[in-house]
A and B are shown apart, each in its own frame.
Chain A
Amino acid sequence: MIINSLIPAASTYAGDIDQLFDVIMLLVGIPFLISSYLFFAFIFKFKKKEGVPAMYITGTEHKYMKWIHRAHIPILTFDVIIVVMAVNVWYDIKQDLPEANSTVKVIAQQWAWTFVHPGPDNVLDTADDIVTINELHVSKDRLYHYKLEALDVLHNFSVPVFRLKQDAIPGRVITGWFEPTMTGEFDIQCAEICGIGHGLMPARIHIESASQHAAWVAENSPLAVAALSPGNTINTINTINTVETKIEEFAAR
């Protein structure tokens, strides 16, 4: 309710996180409002009045202490509810790895994203893979695994509309999953500071309908591109140049 009023929810698990956020808001909101009410009420009620001395309360008397102790019952109950819900959501997104329909490779470096999509054969590491810079193309209602790598420093693959975030660590390949539920074009952000170009590695995710996506794959598969324009087997050379220029530009500053 709260999160998706600010940003669309575009993955199967986005709704779970949004719901968890709402529940926590409710469960911490109630104690917060009650304690704030008491706090301000006490300040106004017990403002200094001539001739009215303060009470002498040590805070060990049962008749006062019981209020503090009783307050722990709802707090612990709320804690348990939040832990159970949070662990459930966490388990689904990060611990469980459902069967994938496709796998994409996500490679982060200073300061660009490289995405490797499987070509028409839907298998990675074959000749028809489609390599793009700073744009990821996926199909709605299709379960993807991502294999996340970093070439230099830590980065973080964050797709806010999916509610997905994962650090990329040089020397490791981290696998996770997502399943888009709506079409559209959204931001991919790097969410771990990675040097002076950290604010300059925006990428976009293009979520297409199954047929649009199939068409995009067919059009951009290197085999198809090579057939159209011989000598240009990988359609990313220009974008890689841009990245290098960017690095030089920063180094110069």
Chain B
Amino acid sequence: MAESIPVGHGSDDADHGEHGGHHEMTFGEKYIFPLDHKMISMQYMFTGMFMAIIGGFFAYAFRMQLAFPGMEVPGWGHVSPADYNSLVTNHGTIMIFWVAMPVLIAAFGNYLIPLMIGADDMVFPKINRLSYQIFLLSAVIILAAFFVEGGAFGGAWTAYPPLSTKAEYNLTPLGQTFWIVAVALEFVAFLLGGINFITTAMNSRAPGMKMWDIPMVVWMIVIASILFMLSVGPLLAGGIMMIFDQQVGTAFFDPDQGGDPVLWQHLFWFFGHPEVYVVLLPAVGIVAEVITVFSRKKLFGYKTILYTAIGTGVLSFTVWAHHQFISGIDPRMANVFTVTTLLISVPIAEMMFVYIATLYGGSITLTTPMLWALSFIFEFLIGGITGIFLGASGNDIFLHDTYFVLAHFHYTFYPIAIIGTFAGFTFWFPKMFGRMMNDGLGKLHFWLTVIPFNLIFLPLFVLGTAGQHRRIFDYTNFPDLALPWMQDLRVLATVSLCVMLGAQLIFFYNVITSWMSGPTAGKNPWNSNTLEWTATSPPPHGNWPEGLPTCYRGPYEYSVEGRESDFWPQDEPA
């Protein structure tokens, strides 16, 4: 298998070559232990959505406590300080590692890469299956921590030692180890997935598909996988050191025995900052696919976007200590990291400009996926510019660990993980399930998600600027933070959150009813150019049983002058 993989073909695994239904697959083969990239993608997608519901419920529980301290929260009960810490810790951990990563990288990567490059499957389907199984195991472990003695870990998603390494300080002797084991396993799962994404995109492209003909979202997932693989090593090592500190009695991070707690922070953020771009890039790629289709425009500056993505990725390895300005590092280091951090504004601004420029001269239809994609650009712009406040070391002395930081990174992660996912899911839903979603319900869901999102986090910018720190379960203990106008803003944020969570019922109702009885989509409902739209909806096992497509041009040839139709599919001979 390893010696030669013919271009245009995916897997050559011995027992996987029989595409097209030579034998009937059992239920277990098809849905539980599948090798088909689309089914593995759906496993990741729905596990991710399930975890998002849990992460959202945690947010509901602790936001209720913040708005109405001491209340019996319906569905949770009294939120004790220990509960509060576990809830915020696991909300953060789950939303990043068990929602953003599986949905954006694994689900979209698995679904889109083979279909968009014209391959019948991933290069290593069994590694792909193993990746999901390890991921599922890690999800079970992170949730199981809530049911063990002492409860789930509550030392924040950054898990700074010594709090995270000594049970006498965190009071969760088992929860602390469940947490780090789950995170480490999750990294292993994504390392396996990443190998597949990179090799498949490099080796299995349709005949004729040159490097610059690869759709942007595929490029972005490949770059993200490379960033992930380069950055995760130190943290995986750090994670194992942490498990040793907790359970074996080593002292890598223990100052009492000559260890250094700040070392963990370096290992964590050396991964942690590139991780932001690992999840950002796939979302940026999804947005590129959606806005070109619904503005009938060629992507403005294909190579420019690619170079800015690579530039951002490289720079992202040089900025990690901006999370540590006031953590006791040598103060002279802050100057260097301020410069590198502010430099990131250059490629990111270029990327945003290029997207706005793509809209120029278009023929724009505001469908549901287009609304999501456009709101990504706008909301991420706010997330980006508020980062400048924090990257400027002098200003960070005041803003560090306040709600300003919290609001800032929710303005980046929310557009990425939630808005980007909805853009992609509503856009490819016809391909995934063969039916159209209800556009009216889709738009209602869009507005009832995006407006409350802003009403949650804009007030939190104000509270952060007023000096409110994070991870405190009851602000009434602090006279300067217990002012009535501040409490009003907290209530506004909580009520908006409840509206937003409630609105997700519309989404699930829409998904289920459209899946059951929506109008049939046909192969190419959006008149799109890329190869996945030439397969049937949904594509069968093997994607193109009648033969793999051939590629003749780039993916964004919309509204080419002198052509009758305003799109030009990649597989249409010239």
Q: How far is B358's CA from A39's CA once the two chains are assembled, in angstroms?
A: 10
Least distance between A2 CB and chain B CB atoms (Å): 7
In the complex, what distance in Å separates the CA atom of A95 from the CA atom of B333? Answer: 10
Report A49 CB to chain B, min CB distance, Å: 7
A213 within 8 A of B: no
Question: Does A174 lie within 8 Å of B349, measured CB to CB?
Answer: no
- Docked pose: A167 CA to B161 CA in angstroms: 13
B558 at the interface (CB under 8 A from A): yes
Main secondary structure of the interface of B (DSSP, over half): helix
Rounded to whole angstroms, the CA-CA distance of A29 and B377 in the bound complex is 16
Contacts of A141 in B (CB 8 A): none
A68, B363: Cβ atoms closer than 8 Å: no
A94, B331: Cβ atoms under 8 Å?
yes
Complex-state Cα separation, A169 to B262, whole angstroms: 8
CB of B80 closer than 8 Å to a CB of A: yes
Q: Is A79 an interface residue (CB 8 A)?
A: yes
Choose from B362, B382, B398 the contact partner of A54 (Cβ within 8 Å).
B362
Q: How far is the CB of A176 from chain B (nearest CB, A)?
A: 10
**A192 engages B394 (CB within 8 Å):** no
Within 8 A of B (CB), among A183-233: 186-187, 189-200, 202, 204
Q: Of A31, A53, A191, which contacts B363 at CB under 8 A? A: A53
Identify B462's interface contact among A6, A86, A192, CB under 8 A.
A6
Mask of A15-49 contacts with B, CB within 8 angstroms, 1/0:
01100110011011101100110110011001111
Known A-B contacts A46-B361, A193-B85; the reply to A169 vs B349 at CB < 8 A is no
A82 touches B392 (CB 8 A): yes
A204–B395 CA distance with the chains assembled, in angstroms: 23
- Among the stretches A99-107, A115-123, A149-157, A236-244, the one at the interface with B is A149-157
Within the complex, which residue of B162, B364, B481 is in contact with A47, where a contact is CB–CB below 8 Å?
B364
Contacts of B327 in A (CB 8 A): 167, 169
Chain A proximity of B482: nearest CB distance (Å)? 10
Partner of B465, one of A3, A31, A57, A253: A3
Complex CA–CA separation, A91 to B325 (angstroms) = 12
Smallest CB–CB gap between A139 and chain B, Å? 21
Q: Is the CB of A251 within 8 A of B361?
A: no
Taking CB atoms, residues of chain B closer than 8 Å to A48 are 363-365
Taken residue by residue from 550 to 574, chain B's Cβ proximity to chain A (1 for < 8 Å, 0 otherwise) reads as 0000000011110000100000000
In the complex, the answer to whether A46 meets B465 with C-beta atoms within 8 Å is no
Task: List chain B residues, Cβ under 8 A from A170.
Answer: 162, 255-256, 261
Instruction: Tell me whether B296 and A68 are in contact (CB under 8 A).
Output: no
User: B169 and A46: CB pair below 8 A?
Assistant: no
A192 to B559, CA, bound (A): 55
Q: Which of B336-381 contact A (CB under 8 A)?
A: 338-339, 342-343, 345-346, 349-350, 352-354, 356-366, 374, 377-378, 381
User: Knowing A46-B359, A93-B397, A165-B401 touch, does A53 contact B559 (C-beta < 8 A)?
Assistant: yes
Q: Point out the residues of chain A lying under 8 angstroms from B481, CB to CB.
A: 187
Interface pair B480/A186, CB less than 8 Å apart: yes
Contact of A57 among B170, B171, B361 (CB under 8 A): B361
Whether A196 contacts B394 by the Cβ 8 Å rule is no
Q: Which of A6, A27, A32 contacts B466 (CB 8 A)?
A: A6
Tell me which of B170, B362, B470 has the highest count of chain A C-beta atoms within 10 A of its own C-beta. B362
Asked whether B395 lies within 8 Å of A24 as measured between CB atoms, the reply is yes
Assembled-state Cα–Cα distance A58/B300 (Å): 6
In contact, B394 and A189 (Cβ under 8 angstroms): no
User: Once the chains bind, are A166 and B326 in contact (CB under 8 Å)?
Assistant: yes
| Chain A residues with CB below 8 A from B397, complex form | 17, 89-90, 93-94, 163-165
Give which listed residue, B82, B169, B256, B357, contacts A64 with CB less than 8 A. Answer: B357
Residue A127 at the chain B interface, CB threshold 8 Å: no
Q: Bound complex: CA of A72 vs CA of B335, how far in Å? A: 22
From 55 to 97 in chain A, residues with beta carbon under 8 angstroms from any chain B beta carbon are: 55-60, 64-65, 67-68, 71-72, 75-76, 79, 82-83, 85-91, 93-95
CA of A67 to CA of B155 in the docked complex: distance in angstroms?
A: 47
**A2 contact set on B, CB distance < 8 A:** 465
The answer to whether B163 touches A160 (Cβ under 8 A) is no
Q: Which residues of A contact B303 (CB under 8 A)?
A: 60
Contact B297 A95 (CB under 8 A): no
Residue of A nearest to B163 (CB): A153
Task: State whether B295 touches A46 (Cβ < 8 A).
Answer: yes
Is B299 interfacial (CB 8 A cutoff)?
A: yes
Set A16, A39, A94, A191: member contacting B469, Cβ < 8 A: A191
Q: Which residues of A contact B339 (CB under 8 A)?
A: 83
How close is A56's CB to chain B, nearest CB, in angstroms? 5
| Contact between A187 and B302, CB atoms less than 8 A apart | no
Alpha-carbon distance between A138 and B477 when the two chains are bound, in angstroms: 22
Chain A neighbourhood of B393, CB < 8 A: 86-87, 89-90, 94
Query: Given known contacts A42-B356, A53-B566, A195-B155, what 15 new A-B pairs fall within 8 Å (CB)?
Result: A3-B398, A3-B465, A7-B465, A17-B397, A35-B353, A47-B366, A57-B300, A59-B299, A64-B300, A65-B301, A85-B392, A160-B467, A191-B402, A193-B160, A253-B82
12 intermolecular pairs with C-beta atoms under 8 Å apart: A17-B394, A43-B364, A53-B559, A68-B357, A79-B346, A83-B339, A91-B335, A170-B255, A172-B328, A190-B469, A199-B84, A250-B81
Residues of B within 8 A of A (CB): 80-82, 84-85, 154-156, 160, 162-163, 166, 169-171, 255-256, 261-262, 295-304, 325-328, 331-332, 334-335, 338-339, 342-343, 345-346, 349-350, 352-354, 356-366, 374, 377-378, 381-382, 385-386, 388-389, 392-395, 397-398, 400-402, 462, 465-467, 469-474, 477-481, 558-561, 566
Residues of A within 8 A of B (CB): 2-3, 6-7, 16-17, 20-21, 24-25, 27-29, 31-32, 35-36, 38-39, 42-43, 46-49, 52-60, 64-65, 67-68, 71-72, 75-76, 79, 82-83, 85-91, 93-95, 110, 152-154, 156, 158, 160-161, 163-167, 169-172, 174, 186-187, 189-200, 202, 204, 250-251, 253
* Nearest 4 pairs of A and B residues by beta carbon: A89-B394, A160-B467, A59-B301, A171-B255
